Structure 1
Amino acid sequence: MVEQTNTASSNDSSNNNNVDIYNIATVVVDIVLLIVKFWIAIVQSIIKSFAPHKIDVKGQTVLITGTGHGIGKELALQYSALGAKLICWDVNEEANQQTVKEIKAYGGEAHAYTCNVIKREEINALAEQNKKEHGFINIIVNNAGIMPCHPILEHTETEIRNMFDINVLAHLWIIQAFLPDMIARNEGQIVALSSCAGFFGLPNLVPYCSTKFAVRGLMEALSEELRQKYPQNKIKLTTIYPYMVDTGLCKRPHFRFPALFKLVKPKDAAAGIIRAQRTSVEHVSIPREFMYIEKFSRIVPRNAMRLVSDFLDAGVHSDK
């Protein structure tokens, strides 16, 4: 009886050892595969950055929010010039109609809709109307935003709530309205405008920076959710981080070195956004070098970057 017990114990120990060896071997193989795939992904990304494939937007339907002026208007004009069909949303009916009028003047196709993106019910109703009238929306550009600039203690509750409603929550409501169709067709692209204020915290922009950091997190989380829940999905996400653009939102910018930090022209910003969308870049700043500055700033001590920031002295004064 004792011999049988010892034999059983010996067999259990041997089986456990075999399991341990198998588990270790599996982990080693997984690590090797990870290293190989890791470097393949890096090489592929480098090759893609030098020879990107551009998506043809001719004949595609592009929905843009905030098309009445600034970046939104330039995006609509430039997408139309590439042969896209434009769905233009803006709260300012007159300005939005003017954008559509300019597009139609040179033979483009565009349709204006008045929408206050603060109101989810307006977004949902208009989304359903657009789907019925125009079919599948290929590209959505969440561009609308506001940018009050003054110290946090001078911001009113209404200002802060409006900023989050327009700059963040509208992205979520529009994504919820149109993403199901993209998932069903396994295609489409969502472009979200964050800001370089989504890279760095700046005085006089505490709520605004908060909204732009939120957009960055929103898009990164959405990317991971789609990747894991729908492994074969072909939906593309692009997040844009423009520097200060000369649209009137940034009323009192200041720079120690204007040649280095001059305002971006709306036409140039729009061109950069469209280029990023057409080449399926996930994250890009305008100008592009700000993305590299942000990455560098995360690996050096915070007090060291503050010295650089104080030396450059770039930001915005209060608009009050």
Structure 2
Amino acid sequence: MFQYVFGIPFTLLKFLLLWFWGTLKRLIPYALRWKKSIANEIVLITGGGSGIGRQTALYFARAGATLVLWDVNPDGNAETARLVRDCGMKAYTYTCDVTKREEVYRVAQRVKEEVGTVFILVNNAGIVSGKQFLHLTDEEIIKTMDVNTMAHFWTLRAFLPDMVRSNQGHVVTISSLLGESAVGGLSDYCTSKFAVRGLHDAILREMSVLDSQVKCTVVCPFGVSTGMFDGVKLRHEFLLPFMAPEYVGRKIVQAVLTDTEVLYLPPYVQLLVIAKTILPTSAQLVLEDIIKLNEATKTFTGRRQDTPKKEN
């Protein structure tokens, strides 16, 4: 039987109120939004040694958090830690290959023993091959899926149970606009980001069923100038410009502080997601051809060949 409030079924009233509040919240400037405190919270960032990972760490440090940095590059990790300490906050570095399940579990246990319980997990590490599907090797496909998708399973299994037991925490998933609208030349990357968005959305719903206070934020940027997509060329680039990692890092931390569930960067790219649900595929292809979106990786170089092409 339905419960009624003022003659309106409670479930319907709740749906309408949450719909109204969610829409209103998007229109409220960040400066006017309620922000939670993360002072002295332990934040773990995978791929913390450069790019988005580094800038996100710095903004978390400015918000008063303690940083735990994971990366396969110890030198980059050490530099991020130095910058965090320059902000007056603690930073701990661990060299960890997130594609190796047992290594993730082992290093996670060290973090719990040496630093404490992680209550904010930022799954950021990622790679891109930048090749057409017919030119990909089996090894490249597997590596992309291992770093961009499977690693999220291992870190979540390592840290999410502690958050659920404590009934607090925040999971941040760095996905991509290409996890909602695919492009040619990035088939393995798009697949990995579609998959990780699905994982994130499922976890969010499981937390809802548990009535857990663990929050979830998924970040969907179009392109970030970390070097990962060097060489990619679009016609009319002003329509979809690449963003500075400093801007992305700041927006990620703002999203966590305000418990924002979905963050599109730049914000207007959400219109492209909406357009995809409305327009027939043939019309989508015409629009994509205007900016040569599906040919953009023909000039892809990525980072220097002696440096891993990492998203972080």
TM over 0.5: yes
Structure 1 residue 46 corresponds to structure 2 residue 23: yes
Equivalence for 1:20: none
Partner residue of 2:253 out of 274, 281, 297? 274
TM-score by length of 1: 0.87
Query: For the aligned residues, what is the CA RMSD?
Result: 1.9
Following superposition, the deviation at residue 276 of structure 1 comes to: 1.3
Amino acid at match of 2:20: V
Q: How does 1:99-178 map to 2 (within 5 A)?
A: 99-178=80-159
- Distance in 2 (CA, whole Å) between partners of 1:88 and 1:103 is 10
The unaligned stretches of length 5 or more in structure 2 are 302-312
Q: How does 1:185-264 map to 2 (within 5 A)?
A: 185-228=166-209, 230-231=210-211, 233-264=212-243
The answer to whether the 8 A contact 1:65-1:142 is kept is: yes
Higher relative contact order (CA 8 A, sep 6+): 2
Amino acid at match of 1:201: A
- Distance in 2 (CA, whole Å) between partners of 1:33 and 1:303 is 43
The unaligned stretches of length 5 or more in structure 1 are 1-25
1:246-305 Cα distance to aligned partner (Å, 9 max, x none): 111102222221222221111011111111111111111111111232023212222222
- Distance in 2 (CA, whole Å) between partners of 1:310 and 1:243 is 17
- Distance in 2 (CA, whole Å) between partners of 1:42 and 1:180 is 30
- Distance in 2 (CA, whole Å) between partners of 1:179 and 1:162 is 24
Following superposition, the deviation at residue 106 of structure 1 comes to: 4.1
Give the direction of change, closer, same or farther, for the CA distance of 1:146–1:33 in structure 2 (3 Å limit).
same
Partner residue of 1:303 out of 275, 279, 282? 282
The answer to whether the 8 A contact 1:284-1:291 is kept is: no
Give the direction of change, closer, same or farther, for the CA distance of 1:261–1:47 in structure 2 (3 Å limit).
closer
Structure 1 residue 61 corresponds to structure 2 residue 27: no
Amino acid at match of 2:176: S
SS at match of 1:284: strand
The answer to whether the 8 A contact 2:183-2:293 is kept is: no
SS at match of 1:253: coil
Structure 1 residue 314 corresponds to structure 2 residue 290: no
1:160-203 Cα distance to aligned partner (Å, 9 max, x none): 11111110010010000011101110000000000111121111
1:134-157 Cα distance to aligned partner (Å, 9 max, x none): 222121100000011011111111
Following superposition, the deviation at residue 79 of structure 1 comes to: 1.3
Structure 1 residue 287 corresponds to structure 2 residue 276: no
Give the direction of change, closer, same or farther, for the CA distance of 1:38–1:148 in structure 2 (3 Å limit).
same
1:59-105 Cα distance to aligned partner (Å, 9 max, x none): 11110010111111111122112221100000011111111122223
TM-score by length of 2: 0.89
Where is the helix percentage greater, Structure 1 or Structure 2? Answer: 1
The answer to whether the 8 A contact 1:261-1:314 is kept is: no
Amino acid at match of 1:142: N
The answer to whether the 8 A contact 2:57-2:67 is kept is: yes
Aligned residues: 293
Give the direction of change, closer, same or farther, for the CA distance of 1:293–1:72 in structure 2 (3 Å limit).
same
